[in-house]
Structure 1
Amino acid sequence: MFVLIALVLTFVLPDTTTFAASDAAQEEGTVGKRARPAARADGAQKQQGWTADDTAKKASGDTNSPDYVWSANRNESRITLRGAVPSEEDRQTALGMVKAHFPDLTVEEKVEVVETGLPREQWLAAVSFGLQQLAQMTKGKVRLTDGGLTVTGQALNAEEYGNIKKALAGTLPAGLTLKADGVRPPVADPFMFQADLGPNSLSLAGSVPSENAHKTVRDLSRQLFARPGLDDRLEVASGAPTDWDEAVAAALRALSRLETGKVALTGVSVSIEGVAPDEGTAVAVAYQLRRDLPERFSTSESIKWKKAAAPLNFAPRAMPSPDLAATVVPRIKPIPEDSRRWRSGALPPLIPLRTER
């Protein structure tokens, strides 16, 4: 009987070890869930510690920290100021500079006063210099970081682009160094280039994608054209199509084989017109241009050639005029057979008359 009761209790009552394991698992899970917020709290304390350290560095005048930043960001209708200023007085002074440079823009100011070891005059001079460059852009940003200046954006026009580049390459305010120059030229749409070859000069006008490209075009022009004058009116702009430099080089080489003429690039369309010394050269120039242009460029040609004309009479003093001796004909077409007979004196065949019966 005792044995039977023991067996019943064994099967009916749950194992105490199972309950213990389950409770331990639940406790462990609870402990784990509670431990995570503790970890976040530790991280938050650590983060607060970093912020406090940074604030202490700024307050002590430690400018080696990269966190002392002031920036001005301009778009079409607004300019936003962010970062730190040395004092309330400097904040007001910088704000006055901004309003003077951008009287028509809305100013959004998000700055805080944080002491710095930089001399006041030096910091204000750097801000003024940066704002002068930003005023010559349609959109852009100037950023001061511990005496280093970063300038990015797009210039208003080619003249302003040149002014910004000259200023950044020149003497900067005391204590200021240029960290990065990301200023882009204005966009030209469509992107146009033209070379006009006259009897005594070559004129270049339109846009080039960079100063390096400008120099390359000038050097190639001096190499290809034996002309005493070079009128260069090219301006740097953004928006050049891919393989623009190859297309311009091909166009200039083709133009150099003409006596006078013009080549123009508008986007990816190329046109050439002018006068060749003979028919063979005219045909060769058209073929050469089509062969040398990159695939995405299309071309149209209108090339004429010269044909010497006979003098009007054979008197000793009657010399052919230069204009007549260089008559330009666009095409040479064969004279019809009937026309040749008539000019030689032969009469055209008679048409028999019909007789009425």
Structure 2
Amino acid sequence: MQMRNSFLAIGAVIAGSTLAMLGATWAATAIESRSAAAARSKLLESGITWVAVDSDGLQVRLTGTAPNEAARFRVVNLVGSVVQSSRIRDELDVTAMRAIEAPRFSVEMLRNDDGISLIGLVPGDGRDDTISSRVAGLAPDLPVSDMLEAADYAEPESWSAAVDFGLEALSMLPRSKISVAEDRVAITAISASAEEKRRLEADLARRAPQGVQLQMDISAPRPVLTPFTLRFVMDESGSRFDACSADSDAARARIIAAGRLAGAEGKLQCTVGLGVPTPRWAAAVEAGIAAVAELEGGTITFSDADVTLLATVDTPQALFDRVVGELQTKLPGVFSLEATLPPKRDPALQGPAEFTAQLDDKGMVELRGRLTDELLREAVDSFARARFGADRVYIATRLDSEMPEGWAVRVLAGLESLALLHQGRLVVRQDLVEVSGVTGNSDARDRISRILSERLGQGETFRVGVRYDEAFDPLAALPTPQECVAGLNAVLAQQKITFSPGSAEVDGAAREVIDALAEVLTDCPPLEMEVSGHTDSQGSAGGNRSLSQARAEAVLSALQGRRLPVQAFVAVGHGEDLPIADNETEEGREANRRIEFNLLREPEPGPAPSPVAEAEAAVAAARAEAESGAEAEAEDGTETTTTAGANADAADSDGGDGAEGEEITIAAAEVDPVNGAVRSVTIPAGDASEAGANAEDGDEALEFVASDESYPRPPRRP
């Protein structure tokens, strides 16, 4: 019995122990589960998903890879807010630290008339003044504000090429912002004209280094177009613009689109300028071009607010009437429309009276055909000699007093237009003035259309068949100022100008270098340039500056001795102030002893004299001479004329109101010494022309005044 009780006691103890162990295990598992769940919830609330949470007994294990040490520390703190810190086992990894990357280097160069500013971060050990000193050398007269910072990192591969190109662009653009990075140069600038804008864009694109992206935004002021002209033609040769003007980029796009709808092909140009007669210019032009397209041929000309529509001979009368009526309704009220349907020609009436002028490629012009009288012949001869050269005109015309009204105006306007060409032909008839040929002026066709539209007046017919050839363009033939400077310094890069030691005497061996420099300058336009002298650092600073000044003056004197256009050159001695190499070595000192050429500023054309003002002065002088009795008479009693403001006695050739012995003034100004512009020509109204007549003591006289624009004859390439 006693043994049985013992077994029961032992069984009770074993059962109690088992129950206790089961209870402890269940409690631990519950705590582990709740702790892990609480940690996961806390991390998910904070948006952290890269941590794995596991429980091991009462311990909470954290595994995963933290992006950085701060993220790891944050995870441990978050879990510690729901679980005792002593129970957390941090087994997190941290992403390895990457090597510190170099900063992105860049330089902003800002230039205007007040100075140059440099802003940015450049590579280098400490302060680097190389860019600042080079900028100071580009524009010595402008203050330089240097706000560059340097970082001690290696220079990027294409950094030097980008900086060199940026500095080159800065020297060419006096009003600009240039942003330089290791792989990109962005240029924002203002040019003086559309022509200069095109030249700068082409020049910069050509000089851009390999591997450097170039972005350009060069703007140009809009020209004033007088008259504001557009001329659209549809004939057997196709559809085209002989002249095109627009008041905005949007208007230009609309006009070009209308031209293409009417059949114009290829590259269409339209000048955006000031002087439009109405903001509805584009709408009026669209209506006019559509009218020509509906007529299936003809010409429409807009000259300010005057609109001239000329149909073809084969246009049906009913179609013409309908199209003209619709166009009149669509045109804004400011425009005045004159529409003409040419009459059907009688085959028996061929060979109309005409005047022709033929300009060959050597500049010789032959004048043939009919003129009204001797006075008009003299006026045309003087006008042609002034435009084309006194020894380049051959005149073989016949006189016919029965010429149509306005003949003198048509002939002189045609000659003024022909003077814009390198080679061409002028044909003047009663019903047509036609100018055709080749020119080196890209704006010639536009200008000719303006001249003829303004001179002939509304409703008159003219035709312009002019082709532009770059071979005769003076801008394309002449080197730019920057190219001249580059050519000079390229000569010096091949061989230096040497001097006797310690003196300013040019060494005899340097004569070939001076000759090479003179050859470069021969093709260059007049420039304002600095001849810079530099020395090494040996000797005193004052002595080096004096020596460099004397050497620069010696080089300038050598160039002057070769009769080159160096009047605007200045010699400046910089001494040892601008080294390009280390003065601690013999090679560096040799490099620093040098002569350089630097462009001071680009030449700016001076204001052109007003041809109208000079013509009025010439006429006033002629009248004063006439009133004082200073008349010149030929010994045989015939009339005589002088080149500028000549007086002559002549009888009225057509039996008009002029009495015999009437005073007649012919004012044909001399050629402008700069651009060959004609001042004015005054002829009597006896050629039956009423246009441009001036009353003078009760008698009529027809005055032709040259345009305010002057058109120099472009130089020819060899």
More helix by share: 1
Work out which of the two has the higher radius of gyration on C-alpha atoms and give 1 or 2. Answer: 2
Q: TM-score, normalised by structure 1?
A: 0.50
